[in-house]
Chains A and B, each alone.
Chain A
Amino acid sequence: MSSSLQLNHNGNLKHFLSISGLDKALLTSILDTADSFIEVGERTIRNVPLLRGKTVVNLFFEPSTRTRSTFELAAKRLSADVLNLDIRTSATSKGESLSDMLMNLEAMASDMFIVRHAQSGAPHFIAESVTPGVGIINAGDGWHAHPTQAMLDMLTIRQKKGRIEGLKVGIIGDILHSRVARSQIRALKMLGADEVRVIAPNTLLPPEIESLGATVFNQLSAGLKDLDVVIMLRLQRERMHGALLPSEQEYYKRYGLTQNALKYAKPDAIVMHPGPINRGVEIESAVADGKQSVILDQVTNGIAVRMAVMSMAMSGQTEAKNLLKEAQSA
């Protein structure tokens, strides 16, 4: 279902909604294309003319300055026109339905929507409803998926470790509410990671997480043992309210990544975090700023990955349109 929605008839990307449904070859080609865009980012003039004349709409139903900015920058580096829409203040508060709003946006001749929404599956819904030819990129939906974040993490791991195959990776923190973790687990498994661990207390783990291919660890030291990659997740402070955790202190003491805790991982393990960081809540400053941290590389890679995914999806839509034209003329 989601794979056929994301791919055109030639098996090329036309929407980027979730890692699930995409094979290893396609994920690898996203990483390879992103590598080329990293080179573009190092030039005097960082723009390429690929999406010149195209309109990319940032459709953010949930606030996020950081993700929106990287998508905006990525679109601009591809020479696209960018429209930022903050939906919370406009459409839905006036009772306009999502489908009606999309029709209006399409009337503005948009070519691509970057969608962030609090509801899991909202980008799927939009991809199913939009006119053919408009690409949808998921910039995070509910607890479901954040595929561009996962791919920029994969790119960072590949840069630092030279490969993903055979690595042991641990994801620490609030897995239950994390779309990032779900996409990371999918991507890591598909790209051949040896082991993906989720490390958290049971109240922060979704049911049957093992069915995604992850191994559960409740204890940080045991979970960190032999890891090549340590991925921290942000702990939302509101988790203290819903009887999920008793206090920040108790959590930090048991699951916070301190320099001492990091010693359990391999000496050359890298430390990642999707940001923004809560220093002293899930990670110690010395670790976040330490030499094993690759958090700033993740930010740089985020732009390249988004450029790759946007240009590939736009290309896939073009291909789908051409196929349709051929079919009609035949």
Chain B
Amino acid sequence: MFNQQELSAILDNMSEELAAQLQGCAFKMVGIRTGGVWIARELAKRLDYDEEIGELDISFYRDDFTRIGLNPSVTPTRLPFGCEDAHLLLVDDIIMSGRTIRAAMNELFDFGRPASITLAVLADLGQRELPIAASVTGQVMQLPKGKRLKLSGPEPLSLNQES
């Protein structure tokens, strides 16, 4: 659907919007594993953010544990900064129901009370089940029924439909 060049253009736009929104704010970047971390790295390059990016594994915070169980390949969350009073830029690849973002925010709060959280996502598929909205969205899209969207990466990045 989108190859690396096309994604690059979308990311350029996103970083411009973010730069405007976060002007003068000393923010910390956090990506949601796995796709969100790749997007966060791309945005960091464009935003001249040279600190280490936080990596969030939300497996322990998912609200569907009692239905689908534990992610078999959970890896430790790594936050190289404190959350208390920090302005956080949370990045994910795709937003749909909003449940992943809710889990991520719950997890971030267990590291401390942030001053603010800004959410950036590459693709928004709609179908929200929770009142959650991204501050910056790369591309709003609609998928045919039965299709899923998958980000491949990190080199090269591409966004594809799968069934």
Contacts and interface: CB of A to CB of B under 8 A. Distances in A.
Q: A–B direct touch, CB within 8 Å, in complex? A: yes
Interface of A: 12, 29, 32-33, 35-40, 43-45, 47-51, 53, 311-312, 314-316, 318-319, 322
5 contacts: A36-B74, A36-B75, A44-B84, A44-B111, A318-B66
A35 B67 CA distance: 24
A50 B112 contact: no
Nearest to B69: A315
Interface in B46-73: 57, 59-61, 65-70, 72-73
The secondary structure that dominates the A interface is helix
Nearest to A48: B60
B70 A312 contact: yes
A51 B106 CA distance: 15
A316 B69 contact: yes
What 7 A-B pairs are tightest by C-beta distance, nearest first? A315-B69, A39-B76, A315-B70, A48-B60, A45-B110, A36-B76, A318-B69
A49 B61 contact: yes
A202 B114 CA distance: 62
Contacts of B110: 43-45, 47-48
A322 B76 contact: no
Nearest to B78: A39
Nearest to A40: B60
B72 A36 contact: no
B74 A39 contact: no
Grouping DSSP codes into helix (H, G, I), strand (E, B) and loop, the B interface class, with mixed when no group exceeds half, is loop
Given A45-B110, A48-B60, A32 B70 contact: no
Interface residues of B, number: 24
B77 interface: yes
Given A311-B70, A318-B67, A50 B76 contact: no
A313 to B, nearest CB: 10
B68 A318 contact: yes
B60 A49 contact: yes
Most buried by B among A36, A45, A47: A36
B106 to A, nearest CB: 7
Contacts of A32: 73-75
Given A43-B111, A312-B70, A316-B69, A48 B75 contact: no
Contacts of A33: 70, 74
B62 to A, nearest CB: 8
A43 B111 CA distance: 6
Contacts of B78: 39
A315 B65 CA distance: 7
A6 to B, nearest CB: 16
